[in-house]
Structure 1
Amino acid sequence: MISTEGGTPRPVFAVAPMIDWTDRHCRYFHRQLTGRALLYTEMVVADAVIHGDRERLLGFDPAEHPVALQLGGSDPQKLAEAVRIAGAFGYDEINLNVGCPSDRVQSGAFGACLMREPALVGECLAAMVEASATPVTVKCRIGVDEQDPEEALDRLADAAVAAGVRAIWVHARKAWLQGLSPKENRTIPPLDYDRVRRLKQRLPDVFVGLNGGLATLTDAVEELGPVDGVMMGRGAYQTPDELIGVDSTIYGEAAGNGFDYAALIATMAAYAERHIANGGRLAQVTRHMTGLFTGRSGARRWRQILSEKATRPGAGPELLFEAFEAVDLSAGEGAAANRAVQAA
C-alpha cells in the first residue's frame, strides 16, 4: 500500500471504490489516464465471492495494476475465505468496507454499520490478514449517527492496527444510517478533514489516507502532507481528465508534451472490440467515458453520441472515433489528433 523510494514514504493517489461504477471496464479506462494511481474495484460481498461467478466478480485485465479489491461482509470466516479465493487473481491489496451506508449493507449488518462494532472489525481484519499474502487495508467513516468521531474513529483504527493492518483510508464524514439516503450521505454530513489529520498525528507509523469531497486533482494535492494519501471518487469518474495529471503531480514523473487523446481513443476502441468479440456490449465500456473532455468544445456532442448510439444493437468501436470527431481540442490539437486516430 505505502510505496517507498530510497526508504522515504511516497504519497498515494487512489480512485475510490464506487458501486456500479468502478467495474473492470472503468478501471481499464482510468488506467489509460494514469499509470500510477491505485484503482479500486466496486465493493464485492464475501458471500458472492464464495458462491458466485468468480471470474465475473473478480477478474480483471493485467493492465489495471496496481488494483485493489474491496470486500464487504462482517463474518471473519467468510471474509477470510473470500480473501483466499481472491488470492489467485493477483490483487495488489484487499480492502474491507466499513463506510458504505446503503440499505443493502445495512440489511446485511456490514459497511458503515461496523463503525459501531470495532471489536468485530478487528476480528474480520485479523482473519483477512491471516489469509492474505497481500496487504489488507480498511476504509471507514469518522463515525455514524450520534457517535463521537473522536472516540469512534480511534477505536476503529486501534482495532485495525491491532489486527495487523498498516493502512487506513478515511472518508472524512459521518454516515447517518437513519434519516439520510446513500446519496445524501455523500454530501450532507459535513467534511472534517481535521479529524483525519489528527488520526495521522496519533498514528505516525500507520498509513492514513483521506477521502471525501476531493473534486479535482488540485483539491487532492492541497490535502497531501498532513496525510499519506488522497482518494478521489465522483470527481475522478465524472471528470476523468482530472486523472491525467496524477503521475506527474503526485508521483513526480515527467509531464511530457501533452496527453495523447488520439492514442487513448484508439486503445479504448481496441479494448471495446475485444469485449464485444467476447459477447459484451459497447455501452458497457463507453458509459464510463462520457465525462471525458468536460469543459472542451464538442464535449456535449461526445456525450450525446456515446449515450444514445452505444446502446443500440450492433454498436461497434467505430462509434468512439465518430464521437471523437466532434471534440475540438485546444491549441489546434483537435484536427491533428483526429487525423491520427483515423490513421490508426
Structure 2
Amino acid sequence: MENLTLIPPTKANKTAILAFKNEFFQAGERVINGSALLDQMDYEEWLENIRRNADSQTVREDWVVSSTFLAVREQDQRIVGIVDLRHSLGQPFLAEYGGHIGYAVRPSERGKSYAVQILSLALEAAQKLGLEAVMLGCYADNMGSIKTMLKCGGVLKEEKPYIDGKPMCIYWITIKEGPVRRLIEKDTERAAEIVNHCWKTTYAGYVDPVQLGEVWCGKRSEAIKDEFRTNGLENYVFDEKGVKGILSCGKSADADKTDAFELWRIYVDPAFQAQEIGSKLLAFGEALAKERNYQEMVIWAFEKNKNACRFYKKHGYKPDITQHLGENFNAEGLRFIKSL
C-alpha cells in the first residue's frame, strides 16, 4: 500500500477535486462525508468556506473551527480521500453525532486500507492540536467504518438513533493520556532505535546474531514504520522530554486466546530503565483493554529473560505455556496471562 499525506486544498487542486467530487456523484453518492460541504457548493465557494472555518474570527456561526485536508497518494499525487478535523465539539450536531473527524475515501480507491491510513493521519493532526481523545460517529451497519475505527483504537461508547431514525454508533479514540500518546510518523526513527537497542542489549544469546546486525535492524525499522502506516498494531510512545519507550498492542493472535488483548511489544530505552516507564506503559495497555471490555491480557517473553519474567509476575501476570518462537530464536517463549 502506498503512503498518503494530508495537504490543504488550494485553487491549484480545482480540476482534481472536481473529478474527485464527480466520482462520488457518478457512484450514486450525493453526500461526501468529511468534505466540509464540497458536495453542496461550487469550488470557489467551498474554498472560501473552509478558509473561513479554519479561523476562529471568521468560522460560520453554526460550525466550529476546523481543518479540511485532502489525502493524497505520494506516489502519483492522486486524491484518495478527504478529511475534516473539527477542533472542538462546541456545536450541538457535532457533540451529538458528527464528532471531531469526518472522512471519505473515493469509490475507486476503497478496499485498499486507505481509510485506516487517513484516520491515522487525522489523529496525528488532532494530536498536534492538543486533543487527547476524539469522537467519531457512523451508522451501525457501516461495517467498513467500524472496522477502521476499531483498528485505530476506537471504543464504542454509545448506540442511538440518528436524525433519520437509523441506528448510529459513537466511538471515542484515545490520543494521549499523561506522558503516553499515539506514535506518529516523526517518532518512527526513534521508536525503531529503541527497539533495536533493546534487542542488542537484552536479546543477545536468545536470538540469531544475524538479527542483531545492521541489515536486520534496518528491516525491523521498516517493519515498525509499516505498522504505523497500516495500524496492524496500535503503537504508543512514552514521551516525557523526549520519547523514551514504546508500546505496541492489539487483539491476541493466539488461536486459544482470540478474545484476549495482547501487549505485543514494550521496550524502554536502556538509558531510562528503572524509572517505572515500563510499568506506566503496561498500565496504559491494561487500561485500553478494560475500556474495550477485554477480560484477559496476553504477553509473550523469552523464558530465559529473567528480568522481563520478574517484571510481568510483579504486575500480576502468571506463566501459562511455553512455545518455540521460530528458527531465528535460541530460547523458548513463555506466555503470561492476566485476568482483568
Q: Which has the higher helix share?
A: 1
Fold shared, TM-score > 0.5 on shorter chain? no
TM-score by length of 1: 0.30
Q: Bigger relative contact order, structure 1 or 2, given CA contacts below 8 A and separation 6+?
A: 1
